Structure 1
């Protein structure tokens, strides 16, 4: 794998002070990845919808200083200093130091805020790490003015991946593939790429309502869950299945077979949780109300010949997916029938978005 392309070129440009703010989205995987090897290499390819309303806004203030052996940064989350988050960010900086050596020459003050609850199963690490990566690339583009927008996005995805695998899919949109796959032109284990084929109109402006079943911290982190795939009895079959499903969903997204989309996306969600149920140690991230919602969705779909479906990340919350043509009726169903299964009746209406934007 050619990682040398991402090593920052030396520059004579001197930027004494700079500040950059980026808004980067979360994403929801349709074909999941579960299991990886170092350094953050997925065991199978995945594809996700980029979201629009669920995002992180991050500002990094850079101030030039004498070069030191460690990265100097302060971290504030939603206005409060968050030392508890610093070890993960410090590890991220350690992983990217070869590619961004300039980080040793700046004092960084990082301010982040989410439009959704942290650790609520809406991939806050994806939006958070991709936001930091975009801020770093804004600085790098000041130091090296020859970088194109494509090169900036590619390296940002590459860097974000080293902090959180799914963050590689949060730089662009509306559909992003991460992981080398023979049927996806340009795909790579090192960074995410936009789905390269024309998507059927039924999947444009697709809706995603996130039902907040449990807004608390997960009892098992995704990192631990991924590691449990190393000795999982069904791991290899799962990796094969996921890559096969990516081939299938590529065709579905192009031909508009929404019934096949519903079946594949729900199967992927349940398979992800089946891997958790059958790992050792085993664990369950779904809650009773997760199952109540799933059954209500199935009943509604049957009774109304609807194309509503669900997917899940590694958590209890339910992502309700549906075409824009059903927005009014499905939103009414959510408000009248599903909201009561959410913690404090909370849910977020979202839709497919187009990636990071500087603000």
Structure 2
């Protein structure tokens, strides 16, 4: 299957001396989580995520012809040169050189920035790698590849996955599935697949996502390390099966608009993710005391009011509050009055799903 992403460009096609391209790519939040991966960024189970509206990365990629046969990359983040970022980009280039043959023909300068604070706990690697992959496909087309829009997005998703697994889900808008299974048409381990809008009830297309920034610093254990700890995890195989089962259960829920069933499933997924971390060897905990306190306050509020407020967690301490637009006014008053106190420096981000 990877053969479809081999470029049709030859070295004689690299005729453009210099130029620049731009891309904007959203962050995403997984509803059914993937935790654990195989060689070459292949997921151990299927996953599905919302892409967000206000949390995104914008990247400008400048390129200039050179003679040396090596990778040459400079990275500027928020206007400041970041030499520490370059090795990660070069590792990414090494992985994708078979599919992007012009990478050694040009010197690249990356100018990138996020709409959200750095180290805010939003997955910037997903939006960042996705934006970079979109830029590379633009250059390929400028050099004469002539990929269609559908082919370009699929290739960008394929490339982004090789930089950061979940980045393959940030290439598209809406709900994005990743991981081959027998119940979603077109699903693949190699790239994300846009879940059909016609199979999603309108209530789920207007969901809000308010992100409580419980902890804005570096995580104690990186996602890469966490994924690797699934390799010898005593409960890993059952978890992989359950994730696929949960995704299959989600399909009719998305269709019929059952918000309560949706919320119960995504909360179970979030807590299962963190339970797997606590049962790893060595064990680790990414939630903070204020994460637990905020969740208890949320549950108390929901029991008292019957408001449709639910949560998910990524691999970190911060909480994504998910709720339909119809309940947004009352819920956002509650967030400001009650949940803001659990956030570091009182910070939270108001966002919504991107359809």
Provide TM-score, normalisation by structure 2. 0.97
Displacement of 1:71 after TM fit? 1.0
Alignment match, 2:36:
35
Q: Structure 1 stretches of 5 or more lacking a match?
A: 355-359
Alignment match, 2:9:
10
- 1:123-272 → structure 2 map (5 Å cutoff): 123-196=123-196, 197-272=198-273
Alignment match, 2:309:
308
Q: Structure 2 stretches of 5 or more lacking a match?
A: none
> For 2:275 and 2:314, how far apart are their aligned partners in 1?
12
DSSP 3-state at the match of 2:29: strand
Alignment match, 1:20:
21
Residue deviations 1:202-261 (CA, integer Å, cap 9, x gap): 111210000101110111100000000000000000000000000011111111111110
Runs of 4+ in 1 over 6 A off after TM superposition: none
> For 1:309 and 1:282, how far apart are their aligned partners in 2?
27
DSSP 3-state at the match of 1:136: helix
> For 1:173 and 1:230, how far apart are their aligned partners in 2?
31
Alignment match, 2:107:
107
> For 2:125 and 2:119, how far apart are their aligned partners in 1?
8
Residue deviations 1:162-191 (CA, integer Å, cap 9, x gap): 010000000002100010021111010000
DSSP 3-state at the match of 1:126: helix
Residue deviations 1:252-296 (CA, integer Å, cap 9, x gap): 111111111011000000000001000001100000000111111
Deviates more, 1:118-127 or 1:184-193: 118-127
Alignment match, 2:285:
284
Deviates more, 1:307-316 or 1:76-85: 76-85
> For 1:43 and 1:119, how far apart are their aligned partners in 2?
27
> For 1:88 and 1:343, how far apart are their aligned partners in 2?
29
Alignment match, 1:84:
84
> For 2:324 and 2:233, how far apart are their aligned partners in 1?
36
Q: Which has the higher contact order (CA 8 A, sep 6+)?
A: 1
> For 2:250 and 2:22, how far apart are their aligned partners in 1?
35
Q: How many residues align?
A: 352
Deviates more, 1:142-151 or 1:320-329: 142-151
Displacement of 1:154 after TM fit? 0.2
> For 2:159 and 2:282, how far apart are their aligned partners in 1?
31
> For 1:264 and 1:61, how far apart are their aligned partners in 2?
43
Provide TM-score, normalisation by structure 1. 0.96
Does structure 1 retain, via aligned residues, the 8 Å contact 2:69–2:105?
A: no
Residue deviations 1:56-104 (CA, integer Å, cap 9, x gap): 11111011122x3321110011111111222221111110111101011
Alignment match, 1:51:
52
DSSP 3-state at the match of 1:54: strand
> For 1:165 and 1:250, how far apart are their aligned partners in 2?
23
Displacement of 1:13 after TM fit? 5.8
Does structure 2 retain, via aligned residues, the 8 Å contact 1:130–1:156?
A: yes
> For 2:190 and 2:121, how far apart are their aligned partners in 1?
24
DSSP 3-state at the match of 1:263: helix
> For 2:9 and 2:135, how far apart are their aligned partners in 1?
18
> For 2:266 and 2:258, how far apart are their aligned partners in 1?
12
Does structure 2 retain, via aligned residues, the 8 Å contact 1:120–1:315?
A: no
> For 1:103 and 1:253, how far apart are their aligned partners in 2?
41
DSSP 3-state at the match of 1:239: helix
DSSP 3-state at the match of 1:110: strand
DSSP 3-state at the match of 1:44: coil
Deviates more, 1:291-300 or 1:263-272: 291-300
> For 2:304 and 2:329, how far apart are their aligned partners in 1?
17
Displacement of 1:7 after TM fit? 0.9
